[in-house]
Amino acid sequence: MGAQLRLLRRRIKSVKSTAKITRAQELIASSRIVKAQQRMQAAVPYEREITRAVSGVVSNTASADHPLTTAKEQPRRAAVLIVTSDRGFCGGFNANILREAEALGGLLRSRGIEPVPYVVGRKGITWHSFRGREMGGQWGGFSDNPSYGDAKEIADALIAAFSADDGIDEIHIVSTEFVSMLTQEVAVKRILPLAVVETAEKPETPLPYFEFEPTAAEVLDSLLPRYVESRIFSTLLQSAASEHAARRRAMKSATDNANELIRVFTMQMNQARQAEITQEISEIVGGANALADAAAGKE
């Protein structure tokens, strides 16, 4: 067997085993997207209710002077929560987020604010530690299946840093939003100081006048941290769903690519084999002719 033939056989074998791996990853990711989407859906009612409650309190209390809602006049440091994934194999997912985070860092610096990264996901953590950047906080190990406890942990750390005297004056989130199975977008949001997000549909009636138990201030005190937690939780869930979607897409194109390579290599291999056979035949025919000629010459 010719050297070229052997080489091609070996490459086809290796590409085939790669394709098997990427195909398996693709299938795993597609089955997890559905689950991640269901979790996103399940979290919607709580977020909707808590947003309504917060807007109810804020619109009712004229003096909503809560540390979490008031912007500092001279912000000096801002926390940037960067939500990445724990594993690779998901195309440009992490690169897009980190690029956007860098851009936000530059923007903040131009306004005279020092950005402090708080990183979720091992990919983002290694990215920062490789560059020797100091992180305000880091969390990893749950990016593909976050629980509310994880969100609470992050929120607690951020709120503590925000409430500290010489701590942080603003909190931004850079994460991927799950728009649909095919579209995920990197989004930059400011979560603190709090600007209560209006829900998509305007309430048809003005918000009613609420009674508070025990008092408006105390309700706000315990409501706002929960609201921040819920925002972070929904961010984590969206990021998880986006990660799976990105992985599925990346693995699908890897599998397609591998199959295309196998096709090309198989063709080349067949050509090489055919060439070898043709050569052998022509050698035999040539040899036979030469023998026949020699025999004819003797007579």
Residues contributing to the site for other proteins (CB under 8 A): 39, 42-43, 45-47, 49-50, 52-53, 56-57, 147-148, 151, 205, 207-214, 218-219, 222-223, 226, 229-230, 233
**Which residues are part of the catalytic machinery?**
90
Catalogue the long-range contacts made by 234-237 (C-beta closer than 8 Å, 24 or more residues apart). Answer: 234/40, 234/43, 234/47, 235/83, 235/173, 235/175, 236/83, 236/120, 236/142, 236/143, 236/146, 236/150, 236/151, 236/175, 237/36, 237/39, 237/40, 237/43, 237/146
The torsion of the CA quartet 219, 225, 231, 236, rounded to 10 degrees, works out to -150
Least distance between other proteins and beta carbon 180 (Å): 22
State both tokens at 188: 């930059």
The helix (H) or strand (E) run that includes residue 161 is: helix 148-163
* Strands laid side by side in the 137-139 sheet: 137-139, 114-120, 77-83, 170-178, 184-192
* Calpha distance 299→297 (Å, rounded): 6
Least distance between other proteins and beta carbon 81 (Å): 18
Nearer to other proteins, 44 or 288 (CB): 44
Least distance between other proteins and beta carbon 100 (Å): 26
Least distance between other proteins and beta carbon 141 (Å): 18
DSSP bridge pairs for 188: 174
The helix (H) or strand (E) run that includes residue 79 is: strand 77-83
**Regarding beta strands 170-178 and 184-192, do their DSSP bridges make them parallel or antiparallel, or are they unpaired?**
antiparallel
| Token pair 């990660």: residue | 243
Least distance between other proteins and beta carbon 53 (Å): 5
Nearer to other proteins, 19 or 236 (CB): 236
Q: Torsion-angle region of residue 112: left (phi > 0), alpha (psi -120 to 50) or beta?
A: left
CB 86 within 8 A of CB 143: yes
Nearer to other proteins, 116 or 155 (CB): 155
Least distance between other proteins and beta carbon 225 (Å): 11
